[in-house]
Amino acid sequence: MQVQTVADITPNSTPTPINSNSSLEITAYWIAITASGSTIRWGDANVGSGRGNAIPTGTTVIIPRISFDQQGYDLSTVYVYGTGSDKVSISYGA
């Protein structure tokens, strides 16, 4: 397993997938999400200002692998939400 990163994400008040390249399938065994700007939220495609798990600015949340037989997380199904002045930094293990 190697640590990988994606370019910082600016959500612009819309749910934004961590992997926005639909032609590239990425499966991660863990994900680290760091918020800068203001509080951002993460979750599914329905994440928004009042929905999803909140991450305060300057905080990193690590989403671990649940079990050894877990297939991993498809990064195109994990979304973040924030304003145009927010940045989200992502790293993951693949």
Q: How far apart are CA 37 and CA 35, in angstroms?
A: 7
Parse the chain into domains and list their residue ranges. Answer: 3-93
∠15-16-20 over CA atoms, to 5°?
150
- How confident is the model over 8-39, as pLDDT tens digits? 999 999 999 998 766 567 888 999 999 998 99
Tokens for 42, please give them: 């993460």
Express as a percent the part of the chain with pLDDT over 70. 94
89, two tokens: 């930094």
Q: CATH code for 3-93?
A: 2.60.120
On average, the pLDDT of the chain sits at 89
What's the gap between Cα 66 and its chain centre? 17
Q: Which residues of 70-81 are buried (b: 16+ CB within 10 A; e: fewer)?
A: eebbebbebbbb
